[in-house]
Amino acid sequence: MRSFITALLGALLATSTHLALAQANLPLAELVPTVVETFNVGETVYVRALAVEPKAGALWVGTSKGVHEIDLASGKPRRTFTRANGLANEYVFAIGIDKEGYKWFGTNAGGVSRYRDEKWKTFFPMHGLADYWVYSFANQKNGDLWIGTWAGVNVVDMKTLKFRTYVKELVNEWVYGLGVDARDQVWFGTEGGVSMFDGKTWRSWTHADGLGADNANKLVASPNTGLGTRSRHDLGLGTQDGAPTYNPNYVFSILVANDQSIWAGTWGGGVSRFDGKKWTNFTTKDGLAGNIVYSIAQDAKGVYWFGTSQGLTRYDGKTWRSVDKTTGLLDNNVYSLAVAPNGDIWAGTKRGVARVNQSKRK
C-alpha cells in the first residue's frame, strides 16, 4: 500500500494541544486523547471499517478502495487486497474476525468475502446472504457469525456455512450495528431502532421508548423508516442544501459494554445507554463532539470512545474530551474505531487513519 504514508504530528500539534488544555483549566494529570500519528490512504478515500487481530499483530483497514493489513508494531503495511486478489468489491463497510481466524469483509453491493491463508470465498444472496450490502459482524459463543445487511440479518452456522435470515422479526431491516452480550443475546442497531434476540424472543426499542435525545436544535426531521418502507438503498439523510437532519431511531452503531449496558449511536440524537430498564441519552450538551455517532468502542480500562460527525470523543464516566481536525484528525467524521492491545485507539475517517493515545497533561 504505497499510498499509506505515515505522517507524525510534531511539535506544532503538541503545542496547540497544550494550549487548548491550558485554556480549559483541566485538572492535573488528567488523561486526554492525543493524536500521535496519521496514515493517509488517499484524499478521496474513506476508511469505513477497522479491526484488530491481536494474534497476528495486525490492524485491518477497510476502505472505499480495498483492504489493507497493517503491522501494529511498526505501522507499516503488510498487504493490500482488491478485487484482483479475490475481494468481492473494493468498497468495504465492515470487517469481522471469527473464532477460527477467518476474516470476513462486508462490502457495498458486492456481498461478503471470507479470507484466510491466501484462500478466498465469496457469498452472495444465491448462497443465502440476505443482501449484497453488508454493514456489520458479530460472533456468538458457539462460533455462529451474525451478519447485518440492508435487507435483514443472517446468522451463519460455521460448521455447515448454512445461512439463516431474519427480517420481519427486526424493528427495521436496515441493520448497521451488531453486538453480543454476556448472556449470548444479540443486539441490532437498525435504521428504525434497536432490536434484541435472546434465542427465543425478539424485543425492540425506539425513540418512543427513550432511545435518542430529543431534537433540541430543531433540525429537519428525517422520516422514520419502518419495515418495507424503502425501495432503494440510500445513505443520504441530509437536506438538499446539505443541512444536518435528525432521526433518533436511526442507529448506526452498537456496543455491549463491560458492565453489559448497551450503547447505541444515533443520527442526531447523540449516544444512548440502556441499563436494561431505561435509556439515558448523551449529546453535545454533555460533552459529545457531535450528535451523529457512527462508531463506539471501549478500551481495556473501561473508557468509552465515540466516533462522531464532529470528531472523536473520550468519556471516562466523568469527563468528556475530544479531538477533531483542528487537533490532528484527518477529517471530523469518524466512521470506525478499533482498540489495539497496547491501548491505542485507531480512528478511521475520510483520507485515512489516526492513532490516538491517552496522555497525562499537567
| pLDDT single digits (tens) 306-330 | 999 999 999 999 999 999 999 999 9
Cβ 33 vs Cβ 345: under 8 Å: yes
β 245-256/220-221 pair status:
parallel
Q: How many domains does the chain have?
A: 1
pLDDT tens sequence across 130-172: 999 999 999 999 999 999 999 999 999 999 999 999 999 999 9
pLDDT (0 to 100) of residue 5: 36
pLDDT (0 to 100) of residue 300: 95
Q: What is the CATH number of the domain that holds 294?
A: 2.130.10.10
Mean pLDDT is lowest, of 107-116, 254-263, 352-361, for 352-361
pLDDT tens sequence across 84-128: 999 999 999 999 999 999 999 999 999 999 999 999 999 999 999
For residue 266, tell me if it sits in a domain. yes
For residue 260, tell me if it sits in a domain. yes
Mean pLDDT is lowest, of 14-23, 50-59, 252-261, for 14-23
Q: Indicate if the alpha-carbon torsion angle 124, 126, 128, 134 is positive or negative.
A: positive
Determine the structural domain holding residue 118 and report its residue range: 41-230+240-323
For residue 360, tell me if it sits in a domain. no
For residues 165 and 180, give the distance between their C-alpha atoms in angstroms, rounded to a whole number.
Answer: 17
Residues of the chain with pLDDT > 70, as a percent, come to 86
For residue 261, tell me if it sits in a domain. yes
Mean pLDDT is lowest, of 9-13, 41-45, 242-246, 257-261, for 9-13
Q: Which residue has the higher pLDDT, 361 or 248?
A: 248
pLDDT (0 to 100) of residue 162: 96
Closest CA to 178 of 256, 102, 104: 256
pLDDT (0 to 100) of residue 24: 39
For residue 73, tell me if it sits in a domain. yes
For residue 314, tell me if it sits in a domain. yes
For residue 7, tell me if it sits in a domain. no
pLDDT (0 to 100) of residue 228: 57
For residue 17, tell me if it sits in a domain. no
